[in-house]
Amino acid sequence: MNLVDPMISENPGMKIAVIDKDEPGGICLTRGCIPSKILLYPAELVRLTEKAREFGIATEIRSIDFAQVMGRMRALIGADIESIRRGLSSSENIDYFHETAEFVAPYTLKVGADTIKSKLIFLCTGSQTIVPPVKGLAEVGYLASDDVLKLEKLPGSVVVIGGGYIAAELGHFLAAMGSKVTIVGRNPQFLPEEEPEVSEVLLKDLGKHMTIMTNIEVKEARRSGSKRLIRAEDRKTGSAKEIEAEQILVATGRGPTSGILHPEKAGIKTDGRGWIMVDEYLETSQPGVWAMGDADGRFLFKHVANYESEIVYYNAVLKRRVKVDYHAVPHAVFTYPEAAGVGMKEAEAVEKFGREGVIIGFYKYENTAKGEAMSAKDYFVKVIMERETEKIVGAHIAGPYASVLIQELVNAMYTGDQGPGDMRRSMYTHPALNEVVQRALTSVYSVDDYHRMATHAHEHNQLRHRDEDVG
């Protein structure tokens, strides 16, 4: 949501200052979600083309024009950025500053050579790449996620430091384009924010195209001739490893940018990491100053920022008292296959409701007609519910189109009872892939039964529920 336009329409005489040290459009447009997904679609096409051979289609990828892939992304993003810039620069009600801002006193900002005062301030300051304290890393040079978007030539080999979403997506892109990719994560689990079952599927499938190492701590980086070399240690055994590549990509997460802003000079509190602290209405410790998006550090997703901007608009402009609600925040990992999730993981639900208070719905893609047609093996939908109310408290998907399928479960979590009743009663198109979601909601197990069957699925075939009518 764009806060500026509705504010002007509600208050025609209002004067608004928009300050951005970077290109207009925010991280999502300029160097985050949108450009990365423009790049990830060609990577998906590469993997789909390769998979076509399973179906008797003799395909061949003769070449990949990396410069064209990157050029298309920059052209699309550049046009959007320029459109926003024109809009900000041409409005009579908006003063647009392409400058760095910092607080010098409460409600007072220094912006370039100007000083601006206001009793209503919105902090949408985004986040920045976290660079781990690896000896020699700065000296040998590295790419951050922002830098990948600037590449003119595909590196022959890349070692990625980090094992989360950014590492997975950019590793997938570079590998599909033709780089030799090695991902080095310090967590014992690849994609540690995902359910273990989801991580296992992506580790297996992505691992066919790149090397993925977990529980490995990078200690040092140095030059090795024309290449870069990292020295790492196994966190369990202490054994040393050395990995050589043309480029090092740092993908170890995002951190706050509040240090640039100096919020302490304005009486605005931050937490121990530097994220701006807000209350349940998204107001900071200084009345009239609000923070949203990455600035508050809660969920670093554009869709959350959009939602939070609505809450701020209701509270700051319309003077309502609307609390934020994060009970069903979805996310997706745009690799091949995809992963997606919303709400609690199983361990969180068991901790809150007890082992007997949780039930799990589970269904595999391959046990639907469409999934079988796609040869979609080992992919699944997992739904976590509170037993007493059957309220959906979490859902997790590993497989093609996970980012699309998850929305049905997100929508259910926003209904009155937050339960599966309407979805179970709904008529689903057959044979369509979203039948796997409905069947996950009708295949309900206790936590122990779920794990028992999952453990022995291949031996006893207990999780197979073949369609009686495959159309």
Q: Which amino acid is at 458?
A: H
For helices 33-51 and 165-177, angle between their N-to-C axes, nearest 10 degrees: 50
> Fold match between 4-126+255-317 and 137-252?
yes
pLDDT at 469: 39
145-183 pLDDT tens trace: 999 999 999 999 999 999 999 999 999 999 999 999 999
pLDDT at 356: 97
336 within 8 A of 44, measured Cβ to Cβ: yes
Strand ranges for 37-133 from DSSP E: 94-97, 101-105, 108-111, 114-117, 121-123, 127-129
Helix, coil or strand: residue 404: helix
Integer Cα distance of 470 and 448 in angstroms: 31
329 within 8 A of 414, measured Cβ to Cβ: no
Integer Cα distance of 416 and 462 in angstroms: 34
pLDDT at 466: 42
368 within 8 A of 471, measured Cβ to Cβ: no
pLDDT at 471: 35
Pick one of 3.50.50.60, 3.40.50.620, 3.40.50.720, 3.30.420.60 as the CATH number of 4-126+255-317.
Answer: 3.50.50.60
Counting as low any pLDDT under 50, the low residues of the chain are 458-471
Distance of CA 192 to the CA centre of its chain: 13
| Token couple for 74 | 């920059």
Integer Cα distance of 285 and 69 in angstroms: 45
Integer Cα distance of 227 and 314 in angstroms: 53
Integer Cα distance of 6 and 280 in angstroms: 22
User: What are the residues whose beta carbons fall under 8 Å from the beta carbon of 354, sequence distance 6 or more?
Assistant: none
246 within 8 A of 158, measured Cβ to Cβ: yes
SS3 content of the chain, % helix, strand, coil (to 5): 40, 25, 40
373-393 pLDDT tens trace: 999 999 999 999 999 999 999
DSSP codes, 304-345: HHHHHHHHHIIIIIS--------TT-EEEE-SSS-EEEEE--
pLDDT at 9: 59
184 within 8 A of 232, measured Cβ to Cβ: yes
- What is the radius of gyration, based on Cα positions, of the chain? 24
pLDDT at 464: 46
To which H or E segment does residue 411 belong? helix 402-413
pLDDT at 336: 97
User: What are the residues whose beta carbons fall under 8 Å from the beta carbon of 26, sequence distance 6 or more?
Assistant: 20, 32, 124, 126, 293, 302, 305
Question: What Å distances lie between residue 246 and 39, 160, 303, 436, CA to CA?
Answer: 21, 11, 35, 42
Q: What is the mean pLDDT of the chain?
A: 93
pLDDT at 8: 57
Tell which phi-psi region holds residue 112, choosing left (phi > 0), alpha (psi between -120 and 50) or beta: left
In this structure, whether the domain defined by 337-460 belongs to CATH 3.90.550.10 is answered with no
Integer Cα distance of 118 and 128 in angstroms: 26
pLDDT at 107: 98
Range 318-346 burial, b when 16+ CB lie within 10 A, else e: eeeeeebeeebbbbbbbbbbbbbbbbbbb
Range 24-35 burial, b when 16+ CB lie within 10 A, else e: bbbbbbbbbebb
pLDDT at 454: 78
What are the structural domain ranges in the chain?
Answer: 4-126+255-317, 137-252, 337-460
Helix, coil or strand: residue 150: coil
Question: Is the peptide bond between 431 and the residue preceding it cis, with omega within 30 degrees of 0?
Answer: yes
Indicate the CATH number for domain 137-252.
Answer: 3.50.50.60
Question: Is the peptide bond between 337 and the residue preceding it cis, with omega within 30 degrees of 0?
Answer: yes
Integer Cα distance of 109 and 93 in angstroms: 19
pLDDT at 4: 66
Tell which phi-psi region holds residue 230, choosing left (phi > 0), alpha (psi between -120 and 50) or beta: beta
pLDDT at 12: 64
pLDDT at 1: 54
To which H or E segment does residue 216 belong? strand 216-224
To which H or E segment does residue 180 belong? strand 180-184
